[in-house]
Amino acid sequence: MKEISAALVKAQTEFGPALKTHTNPAFRSKYANLSACVEAVVDALNNNKIFLMQPTHLCEDGVIVETVFIHASGEQISSGKLHVPATKHDAQGYGSALTYARRYSLMAACGIAPEDDDGNAAVRKPEVKAKPEPKPELPEKMEGKEGPWQLLVTTTPGNSPEDWVDLVCEAADMQLGFVKSKEDVTSIFTVNREIFNQLKAQSQVNYDLMLNRFKTAKAKFQ
């Protein structure tokens, strides 16, 4: 292994930089792709009578790549096998895994280490998300204005906000089952506006669904 060892030492002094010419859309920054990594080392290797080869090995869930340096003397050195799983089991998924594996195997074997986005992602501090604003506390009892369409919603110890939302929706649905005109539908909403405003504060989704139920009930009388 004397000749290939000496040739590799000399070749490494001639390696160029792995230029970061491509943009990673996920992180909006530059990285050195496979082509840039190969260009950084292949001329220096060839000038020192070293052939670069990256054979693949059978693998069911991804790809296995090995970077091998073969000297003109017949001596060769392998960097070892690198396994990369495929995110999707189709041609595109395996192709992406192969490119990724070749790039990292080559950089490890040649000792080049551009500061790329994949590496940055591994040590990137997680983003601190703003805490959502607290929802208004629920009163023990909420009543609509007095009248035939008045709703009364009472909570009990242990009720969660989701339980309260369910109670409001069930009570409103029950009232809508007795309406006989568009005016009745409007009255339910008007008389119990404070309750429905609280529903909106607790769950915009359920509030929107409730509005759709009122529109549907009103449309029956057109």
pLDDT in tens, 24-56: 443 344 556 788 888 889 999 999 999 999 999
Alpha-carbon Rg for the chain in angstroms: 34
User: Does 172 map to a domain?
Assistant: yes
Residue 117 in this model has a pLDDT that exceeds 80: no
Q: Is position 132 within any domain? A: no
Distance CA 62, CA 101 (A): 10
Q: Is residue 197 part of a domain?
A: yes
Q: Evaluate if residue 118 carries a pLDDT over 60.
A: no
Claim to verify: residue 11 and residue 107 sit in the same structural domain: yes
Spatial distance between the Cα atoms of 11 and 42, rounded to a whole number of angstroms: 9
In the chain, the percentage of residues whose pLDDT exceeds 90 is: 24
Query: Which tokens sit at 147?
Result: 């009248």
Confidence of residue 166 (pLDDT cuts 50, 70, 90): confident
Domain total of the chain: 2
Instruction: Render pLDDT for 94-112 as a digit per residue (tens, 0 to 9).
Output: 888 898 889 889 988 988 8
Segments forming the whole domain that contains residue 189: 141-219
Residue 133 lies in a domain: no
Helix (H) / strand (E) element for 210: namely helix 204-219
Structural contact between residues 62 and 85, judged by C-beta atoms closer than 8 angstroms: yes
Residues 101 and 201 in one domain: no
The answer to whether residue 11 is domain-embedded is yes
Helix, strand, coil share (%) of the chain residues, nearest 5: 45, 15, 35
The number of helix segments (H) and strand segments (E) in the chain equals 8, 8
Cβ 196 vs Cβ 210: under 8 Å = yes
Instruction: Tell me which of 123, 156, 190 is where a domain ends.
Output: 123
Same domain, 119 and 146: no
CA-CA distance, 110 to 75, in Å (whole number)? 17
Does the pLDDT value for residue 23 go beyond 50? no
Average pLDDT over residues 64-91: 91
Q: Is the pLDDT of residue 77 over 90?
A: yes
More confident residue, 28 or 79: 79
pLDDT level of residue 121 (50, 70, 90 thresholds): very low
Q: Determine which of 32-41, 157-166, 180-189 has the lowest per-residue pLDDT on average.
A: 157-166
Q: Does one domain contain both 197 and 109?
A: no
Rounded CA-CA distance 158/117 in Å is: 48
Task: Report how far residue 8's alpha carbon sits from residue 41's, in angstroms, rounded to the nearest whole number.
Answer: 11
Q: Is residue 84 part of a domain?
A: yes
